[in-house]
Amino acid sequence: MRRTRVLLLGVVLVSLVEAARQWNSAPGRIPSHFDAAGSPNAWSSRGEFFAFQVAVTLGVAALFVGIAWLLKSTPARLINVPNKSYWLAPERRGETMDRLASSFEVFACATVLLLLVVFELTSLAGRGGTLDTSVFLPVLVLYLVFSAVWTVVLIRTFANVRNER
């Protein structure tokens, strides 16, 4: 099993354990939406909130793993990567799919970590207060920067063609 897959499973496990830990101390009603100032303006029951947290966490992980799995059987004409003929040549396609799968798993880890922070902040706001934007906004900016860097690295990885002489 790839290290990135193990990392993803670990991050998902941490998120699910944290949800279970939060369940015991969460109030009966938890904010499910906030206005621009971070004040709650919609609420969910504790059961709905944690069911949503578990479903979204598992769904995001499954989505990124599923995309990589589907790419393995996708015809080359439907895949858009730089230097497609090189990277999707039969002798390199398996390695390319493994690289893409690892990249998607890393992105899934970052997304699950973002969700973990958001759900944690939401749960804390449910104990009386507002969404702590002094934590949320820097985490969101960090995620967006990570997303941009991840995209550039992915494109540059496939823009380079090995010299096989």
Q: What integer pLDDT is reported at residue 164 of this predicted model?
A: 54
What is the arithmetic mean of pLDDT over 13-25?
91
H/E element, 121: helix 90-125
Burial of 93 (0-12, 13-18, 19+ CB in 10 A): middle
Q: What is the pTM of this model?
A: 0.90
Beta bridge partners of 40: 34
Q: What integer pLDDT is reported at residue 165 of this predicted model?
A: 42
The CA distances from residue 122 to 18, 57, 126, 135, 149, in Å, are 13, 15, 6, 12, 27
163 pLDDT band (50/70/90 cuts)? low
**For 37-94, what is each residue's pLDDT tens digit?**
888 888 899 999 999 999 999 999 999 999 999 999 999 999 999 999 999 999 999 9
Name, in order, each residue with C-beta under 8 angstroms of 50's C-beta and a sequence gap of 6 or more. 19, 22, 23, 26
H/E element, 112: helix 90-125
Distance CA 125, CA 130 (A): 5
What is the arithmetic mean of pLDDT over 89-109?
95
Q: What integer pLDDT is reported at residue 127 of this predicted model?
A: 82
In the block, tokens 């303006």 appear at 41
